[in-house]
Amino acid sequence: MEFAKIVAYGLVAAIGYGVIHDQVTVRVCLEYFTIGHPLLIRTTSPTLLALAWGFAATWWVGLPLGVILAMAARRGRRPKLCASQVRPYIFRLLAIVGALAVMTGFLAYLLAARGAIELSKDWADLLPDGTQIPFLVDLWTHSASYLFGILGGAVAAVFIYRKRAA
User: Cβ distance 141 to 25 under 8 Å?
Assistant: yes
Q: What is the pTM (predicted TM-score) of this model?
A: 0.93
| Residue 166 pLDDT > 80 | no
Determine contact, residues 133/41, Cβ cutoff 8 Å: no
Assess whether pLDDT exceeds 80 at residue 85.
Answer: yes
98-102, 146-150, 162-166: least confident range: 162-166
Domain encompassing residue 129: 2-163
Closest CA to 21 of 86, 117, 123, 95: 95
DSSP tag of 58: T
pLDDT digits (tens, 9 = 90+) for 6-45: 999 999 999 999 999 999 999 999 999 999 999 999 998 9
Alpha-carbon span 11 to 28, nearest angstrom: 26
The pLDDT, as a whole number, for residue 37 is 92
Domain count, the chain: 1
**Burial bucket for residue 144 (CB in 10 Å: 0-12, 13-18, 19+):** buried
